[in-house]
Amino acid sequence: MANITLEFDSGTLVLDGLSDPAAGQLPSVTWDQRTQQWRAPGRAYRHIVTRCKELGHVLVDHARAYETLNLTLAEPIIPREHQTHALREWSSAGKAGCVALPTGAGKTIMAVLAIVMTGRSTLVVVPTIDLMQQWEQVLSKFLKDAGQPCKIGLLGGGAHDPQPITVATYDSALIHIERLGNKFGLLIFDECHHLPAPQYQTIAIGSLAPFRLGLSATMERVDGRESVIFDLVGPLVYEAQIHQMVANVLAPYDVYSIQVPMSDEEKNAYQKARSVYTDFLRRSGIRFNNGADWMQFVRMAARSADGREAMRAYREQKHLAQAASGKLHATWDILRRHRGEQMLIFTDDNALAYRIGREYFVPVLTHQTKVKERKAFLDGFRRGEISVLATSRVLNEGVDVPEASIGIVLSGSGTVREHVQRLGRILRARPGKRAVLYEVISQGTSEYFVNQRRRQHDAYQGSSTLP
């Protein structure tokens, strides 16, 4: 039996009073030559405390700085069957695990119930400022602490106000986790497929939160690193797919692909730029099999005049395909066809989003949009005062726009994840609603092949191509 003192030090735990054999019995504890101390990552807190109890050690815990809260619901929530099921599975897994639910299936409400059930200081980590504000609104509405309205803290987008219940962007959580990693007992990762990024892992590793919840529409990653999420948060305890929820929870939908021809001038410019780009790839022996090949291209392109020309040509051909004039006219036809309905226009980059904004005189939401205006646009859209919103990628994830029923994808990264996320934006159920997603593709360009590849996904069931 040992007398052990536990302290939190910049994302790690420092253990004092340990002998070599005692340290060997505790998980993740390592001798730190630099400071001549026993040290463990913050995430090992739960296992160390449990093990110390099992071994009968006396533990003086200076590490834990999170609070036990008396949380209640300010408004009643009647969970849907899948939310109850997910919550039960998560609780059975020791309140450490991941839940995969399609957009619109009520992940946030399920998380509110998890926060109340756990009753500990909570940090919710989200990928965007829009989501941070959205979570703040939901948590403020539903949570009461000791019978009083719960003040929700924010970290990110210029805000720095940590509270027992706090919402932070991934970037801000990363910056502050060394100082705040011991102040939260429950850690919720929204859109947790971001977590395997090497930097973001530090948030989960440096926090001592014993309770963890990961939320995403799909855990699947192109690089297959979803196992990192399960290691840092806990196993996948509940999963439901879009097609299982359509009709009951999500609106039914159609997906249409519209191929538009390029003008002769655009086609010539496209082919010319594309051949400069592909010739360079061929000469340099570059084949795109994974992300590292792209980086190789970037590096080689920077080293010679030919390479820089190839990079310029790559950007030009991509821009020509994404912003072909035919797309503008096709989009105008869709706007007319669905006049009076709530529509979202998605682009791959800000330049095209702002071009759309200027051509149709519609609001544009990008990461450059100031917080105040962003809120005004989204509120206006929700109230129906704004019927069309153009956006690049900031609405891909999580932002709740239940009124949207039409999505128009003018350009994108080509990944299944992005497609499912964008589709999810228009699927929140409403009586009588049938959602439509249009994909507008430049004929005879690489966009066509990307579209064909993506159509293998089951979220495309029932889709068709418009002439």
- Residues of this chain that interact with another protein (CB under 8 A) are 9-12, 28, 30, 32-37, 39-41, 178, 198-199, 201-202, 205-206, 292, 295-296, 298-299, 302-303, 305, 308, 328-329, 332, 335-336, 339-340, 354, 357-364, 368, 370, 373, 376, 385-388
Residue 295: CB minimum distance to another protein, A: 6
For another protein, the closer CB: 102 or 307: 307
- Rounded alpha-carbon distances, angstroms, from residue 109 to 6, 67, 119, 211: 35, 22, 16, 18
- 126 touches 132 (CB < 8 A): yes
CB of 399 to another protein, least distance (A): 19
104 or 363: CB nearest another protein: 363
State the amino acid at position 389 in one-letter form: L
* 247 vs 298 by CB, closer to another protein: 298
Q: Could you tell me the smallest distance in angstroms from the CB atom of residue 341 to another protein?
A: 11
Name which of 358 and 434 has its Cβ closer to another protein: 358
Choose between 109 and 371: whose C-beta lies nearer to another protein: 371
The Cα–Cα gap between 426 and 436 comes to 8
Q: For residue 346, what are the β-bridge partners?
A: 391, 409
Closer of 88 and 329 to another protein (Cβ): 329
Min CB(272)–another protein separation in Å: 19
Minimal distance in Å, beta carbon 26 to another protein? 14
Contact 43, 204 (CB under 8 A): yes
* Cα–Cα distance measured from residue 217 to residue 280, given in angstroms and rounded to the nearest whole number: 38
Measured over the CA atoms of residue 282, residue 442, residue 398 and residue 77, the dihedral's sign is negative
CB neighbours of 356 closer than 8 A, spacing ≥ 6?
328, 331, 345, 347, 362, 364, 390, 410
User: Which is nearer to another protein, 88 or 299 (by Cβ)?
Assistant: 299
Whole-number minimum distance, CB 342 to another protein, in Å?
12
Minimum distance of another protein from residue 405's CB (angstroms): 16
At residue 432, the 3 state secondary structure works out as: coil
Q: What are phi and psi of 316, to 5 degrees?
A: -65, -50
Nearer to another protein, 386 or 408 (CB): 386
Hey, what are 442's tokens? Answer: 């430049």
DSSP label at residue 250 = B
Query: Which residues, listed in sequence order, are joined to residue 239 by a DSSP beta bridge?
Result: 100
Cβ-based nearer residue to another protein, 11 or 234: 11
Q: In this structure, are residues 419 and 427 in contact, taking their beta carbons and an 8 Å threshold?
A: no
Is residue 168 within 8 Å of 105, Cβ to Cβ?
A: no
- Alpha-carbon gap, residue 401 to 420, rounded angstroms: 15
Cβ of residue 368: shortest distance to another protein, in angstroms? Answer: 6
Task: Compute the least distance from the CB of residue 60 to another protein, in Å.
Answer: 16
Distance CA 74, CA 164 (A): 17
Contact 399, 137 (CB under 8 A): no
For residue 271, with 0-12 CB atoms within 10 Å meaning exposed, 13-18 middle and 19 or more buried, which class applies?
middle
* Cβ-based nearer residue to another protein, 39 or 64: 39
State in angstroms the smallest separation of the CB of 165 from another protein.
26
Please identify which residue in the block is written with the tokens 């005189």: 361
Q: Shortest distance, CB of residue 177 to another protein, whole angstroms?
A: 10
Give the bridge partners for 37, in sequence order: 32
Q: Is the distance from CB of 345 to CB of 362 less than 8 angstroms?
A: yes
Per the DSSP assignment, residues forming a β-bridge with 440 are: 258
Q: Are 122 and 154 in contact (CB under 8 A)?
A: no
Nearer to another protein (CB atom), residue 353 or residue 450: 353
| Nearby residues of 387 by Cβ (< 8 Å), 6 or more positions away | 340, 341, 342, 343, 381
